[in-house]
Amino acid sequence: MPNGYEPAASSDHRRPSRSGQRTRAAVTAVVGAAVVVVLALPMFASDFTVYLAATTLLVAASATSLNLVLGYLGILTMGHAALMGLGAFAAGLSTSELDLPFLVVIVVAGAAAGLIGLGVALISLRWQGIYVVLGTLALQFIALYALHRIQNGVVGPIGFQMPTPEVFGFEINSDTRWYYTSAVLAAATIAVVALLTRSHIGRAWVALRRNPLAAGALGINVTRVTVLGFTIGSVMTGVAGAVSGYFTRTVAADTFTLGLTIEYLSMVLIGGAGTLAGGLLGAVFYTWLPYGVNFFVERLPESWTTLRNHAFAIENAIFGVTIIVVLLVEPGGLMHVGSRLKARASRALRASGARRPDAGEPTKRRGGERYDDHDAHGLRRSGWGPTRRVTHWVATLTSSASRLPVRRGTSTSARSDLRSEEGLVLDAVDVVYRGTIHAVRGISLSVGPGEVVGLVGANGAGKTSTLRAVTGFLRVEHARVGGRIELDGRSLTNFPPYRVARSGVVLVPERDKVFGELTVAQNLSVAPVRSRTFDLDNIRSLFPPLAARWNQRAGFLSGGERQMLALGRALLAGPRVLLVDELSQGLAPRALEEISRALGRILDRGGLSALIVDQNAELIMQLAKRVYVMEVGRIVRSGGVEDFVDTRQLQAAYLGERAVVQP
C-alpha cells in the first residue's frame, strides 16, 4: 500500500505488504552481496587489510555488547573496559595456570565477566541516573587495580602471553583464520542482541527505559529484567575481551583503562546507540580512521611538517568533531543516516505513485518496515535520551540564531486577507510529521489584541499540532512547520520554544506539566517573572487553593491545582497571548468551574488575548468570543460564539453533524 499500513488481511501477523516485500527483497540482495564480499575478502584483499578487518570485527563484537547495555537498556556504563579486562584476564589465568583449551577458556571468561557484571548490576542498578554511572565507574577503577595486582603477582609487568588458539585441532594462526574467527564472534554477538531485542524481553527493556513505573504496572519486574540485560552484556563483553587477548597475543592490565571505555562509548554513539549495526559501524569508523588520516597525511607536501608530524592529533580531532557532528545532525548515529535515506527513497517511490495522503488517518508506518519490528520503532525514535535532549537544546540555539534574519524578510512581503496583522496571526500553516503525516493543512487564523478565541475539534483534528507549531515544540519532534506565524507583524515561525515564550506567546500546557519535586512557590519562581501585571501575590489571591499549599511539593497537588499552577506560571511569564491547551482535561466539574472562572476573571481584565483549545464546548462558549472548528487538519467553520445557538450545536459542529447548525 502506498500510504499507510495495511489492514490485517490474515491472521498471520508477519504478512508483509507489497512495498514491504520489495524492500525486503532489496535488503536480502544487499545483505547477500555483503555476505559474499565479507566471506571472500581474504581472497582479494592485502594481508594488512585482512588483519585490520579482523581487528574491526573484534572491536565490533565488544561495541555491540556495550550497545546492548547503553542503547537498549539505557545504562551509561563506565565499566566496559574493566569487563573486557576481566574476560581477558580470566582467559590469561586459565591458559597460563590451567592450560585449558580455547573454547573452555571462552566460557570461563564469559562466566567471570558475567558474574562480576551481575554483582555490579545488583548493587548499582538499584540507584538511578548519575549513581549508576558512579557505580560502574567504581567497577572500572577497582577492577583495573585488581588486574594490575594479579598481573604483577602472577606474570610480571609484561602481562600474559597467550597461546595460539585451537578449535578441534584447527589452529587459528593466520590473519585469514583470525578474520573468520572474528567474523563468527561479531555475527554471534549481533545475533544474540537481535534475538533478545526482538523478544518479549527486549520489549520489556524498551518499556522500562521509557517509563519504569508504567512498566511495573504491566507486571514487568524492572530490577530483574535490567539486571538480566546488564549481565548478558557483561558475558558478551568478557568473551570479546578474551578473544581479543588471544588475537593480540598479550594480555596486560594497561590496556583496559577508563580511556578505552570512553572510546567504546563514543563508537556506539557514532555508530548508533540502540541499533543492531550501530556497534559494527562505530567499530569500522574507529578502526579505520587512523589509517584514513595517515593515507592523506602521507600525501601532504614535504614542507608541511607540522601537519605531517601531528597525524595523531588530526585523528583525535576528527574523532571528536565527528561525535559532535553526529550527535547534532543525527543523534541516532550513522545507522540512522542509513534508515533516513531509506525512508526518503521510499517516500520518493510513493510520491511517484501520485497519491495524496489520506487525511482521515494520521496513522501509518514508514515504508517497508514490518510492524512487529519494534526495535525499529521504539528504539529508533527514542534514541538515547540524555544525548538527544542536549542535542535538541543545542540545535535549537544554533538554528534559531541563523534563521532569524531570513524570516524577517519574508514576513513583510506576503500579505493575506486576514482580519488583522495585530495580535497572533497564523497564515497557511502546515504541520507534517516525519515527512508523511499531514496533521495540519494550511490553516489560517487570528487572535486580535485582547480577543479570546476558541479552537475546537475532535481528537486528531490537529488542534494540539497547531498549538505546538506556534510554541515551537514541534521542531523537537521531526516535524516540519510550513506557513507563517506572526505576533504583531513579527515572525515567530520556527522560533524555539523559549523565544516564542519571551515574545509574549505563552502556553498553558496540559496538566501534569508541573515540576513535582518543587514546591508550588518554587514552581512559580522557576522562570523569572516577566509580567508587569502579575506577581506572586496576585497568583495567591487568584487561586486560593494554591495559596493553601504554597510550600508543599507540586507532586502532591490534585489535577485541578496543577492546572491552576500551570496557569499561574504562564501568567507570570508576561503573556500577551495565552495559549490554553485542554484546560478541562481530567477536572472534576467543580474544579473546572473554579479554574474557568479564574481564567474568565483574568481575561476580563483586558490586555491579554487567548487562544483556547478544548474539547469542552461549554468552556469555549463561556470564555471565547470567536470560535474556529477544526476537522482533519483544516478549519471547516468559524464565527462568533453567537453563531452557535448553544453548546450542543457547537459540539455537533466539531463532531461532524454540521447539518444541524448551518445558518
Which residues, numbered 570-599, are part of the site for another protein (CB under 8 A)? 582, 585-591, 593-594, 597
Task: Count CA within 13 A, CB hemisphere, residue 611.
Answer: 28
Q: Does 236 bind another protein (CB under 8 A)?
A: no
In 10 A of CB 193, how many CB atoms? 25
Beta bridge mates, 451:
none
In 10 A of CB 106, how many CB atoms? 23
Question: Considering beta carbons, is residue 6 or 422 the nearer one to another protein?
Answer: 6
3-state secondary structure 249-276: CEECHHHCCHHHHHHHHHHHHHHCCCCC
CB 405 within 8 A of CB 95: no
Question: Considering beta carbons, is residue 237 or 609 the nearer one to another protein?
Answer: 237
Q: Does 561 bind another protein (CB under 8 A)?
A: yes
- Kindly state the smallest distance separating residue 30's Cβ from another protein, in Å: 24
- Segment interacting with another protein (CB under 8 A) among 49-57, 102-110, 239-247, 453-461: 453-461
Kindly give the pairing relationship between strand 609-613 and strand 577-581: parallel
Judge residue 438's burial from the number of C-beta atoms within 10 Å of its C-beta, 0-12 exposed, 13-18 middle, 19 or more buried: buried
Closest CA to 273 of 377, 428, 387: 387
- Kindly state the smallest distance separating residue 625's Cβ from another protein, in Å: 22
Question: Considering beta carbons, is residue 222 or 311 the nearer one to another protein?
Answer: 222
CB burial of 595-628 (b: ≥16 within 10 Å; e: otherwise) equals bbebbeebbeeeebbbbbbbbbbbbbbbbbebbb
Instruction: Please state whether 310 falls in left (phi above 0), alpha (psi between -120 and 50) or beta.
Output: alpha
- Segment interacting with another protein (CB under 8 A) among 77-85, 221-229, 521-529, 638-646: 221-229
- Segment interacting with another protein (CB under 8 A) among 124-132, 293-301, 326-334, 360-368: 360-368
CB 89 within 8 A of CB 150: yes
Supply 210's cell numbers. Answer: 521509557
Binding another protein (rule: CB under 8 A), the pick from 342, 350, 364, 540 is 364
Q: How far is CA 3 from CA 9, 327, 425, in A?
A: 16, 30, 32
- Kindly state the smallest distance separating residue 199's Cβ from another protein, in Å: 4
Determine the Cα–Cα distance for residues 567 and 598; give it in Å rounded to an integer.
10
Binding another protein (rule: CB under 8 A), the pick from 5, 288, 515, 550 is 5
CB 162 within 8 A of CB 245: yes
Residue 482, helix vs strand vs coil: strand
Determine the Cα–Cα distance for residues 244 and 239; give it in Å rounded to an integer.
8
- Kindly state the smallest distance separating residue 558's Cβ from another protein, in Å: 3
Question: Considering beta carbons, is residue 9 or 158 the nearer one to another protein?
Answer: 9
| Site size for another protein (CB under 8 A) | 71
Question: Considering beta carbons, is residue 283 or 613 the nearer one to another protein?
Answer: 613
- Kindly state the smallest distance separating residue 473's Cβ from another protein, in Å: 14
Please report, as residue ranges, which positions from 596 to 635 form the binding site for another protein (by CB under 8 A). 597, 615
- Kindly state the smallest distance separating residue 64's Cβ from another protein, in Å: 15
> 634 — phi, psi (to 5°)?
-125, 160
Determine the Cα–Cα distance for residues 139 and 658; give it in Å rounded to an integer.
67
* Length reported for the chain: 663
- The distance of Cα 590 from the centroid of its chain, to the nearest Å, equals 39
Binding another protein (rule: CB under 8 A), the pick from 18, 381, 389, 478 is 381
- Kindly state the smallest distance separating residue 655's Cβ from another protein, in Å: 6
State the sign of the Cα–Cα–Cα–Cα dihedral 56, 59, 64, 67.
negative
Question: Considering beta carbons, is residue 147 or 557 the nearer one to another protein?
Answer: 557
Please report, as residue ranges, which positions from 275 to 334 form the binding site for another protein (by CB under 8 A). none
- Segment interacting with another protein (CB under 8 A) among 64-72, 148-156, 366-374, 526-534: 366-374
Residue type at 580? V
- The distance of Cα 373 from the centroid of its chain, to the nearest Å, equals 17
- To which residue does cell 597525524 refer? 311
Question: Considering beta carbons, is residue 296 or 556 the nearer one to another protein?
Answer: 556
Q: Does 211 bind another protein (CB under 8 A)?
A: yes
Q: Does 639 bind another protein (CB under 8 A)?
A: no
- Kindly state the smallest distance separating residue 334's Cβ from another protein, in Å: 21
Radius of gyration of the chain (CA): 30
Please report, as residue ranges, which positions from 9 to 28 form the binding site for another protein (by CB under 8 A). 11, 13
Question: Considering beta carbons, is residue 53 or 461 the nearer one to another protein?
Answer: 461
- Segment interacting with another protein (CB under 8 A) among 98-106, 329-337, 357-365, 404-412: 357-365
Q: What is the pattern of x (binds another protein, CB under 8 A) and - over residues 409-438?
A: ------------------------x---x-
Binding another protein (rule: CB under 8 A), the pick from 141, 371, 498, 515 is 371
CA angle at residue 62 from 56 to 67, to 5 degrees? 115
- Segment interacting with another protein (CB under 8 A) among 312-320, 374-382, 533-541, 598-606: 374-382
Kindly give the pairing relationship between strand 170-171 and strand 166-167: antiparallel
Binding another protein (rule: CB under 8 A), the pick from 378, 497, 504, 568 is 378
- Kindly state the smallest distance separating residue 495's Cβ from another protein, in Å: 24
Binding another protein (rule: CB under 8 A), the pick from 164, 199, 398, 412 is 199
- Kindly state the smallest distance separating residue 209's Cβ from another protein, in Å: 9
Q: Does 271 bind another protein (CB under 8 A)?
A: no
- Kindly state the smallest distance separating residue 307's Cβ from another protein, in Å: 46
CB 133 within 8 A of CB 76: yes
* Nearest-10 crossing angle of helices 175-197, 278-298: 140
- Kindly state the smallest distance separating residue 270's Cβ from another protein, in Å: 23
Please report, as residue ranges, which positions from 490 to 549 form the binding site for another protein (by CB under 8 A). 510, 512
- Segment interacting with another protein (CB under 8 A) among 83-91, 119-127, 282-290, 648-656: 648-656
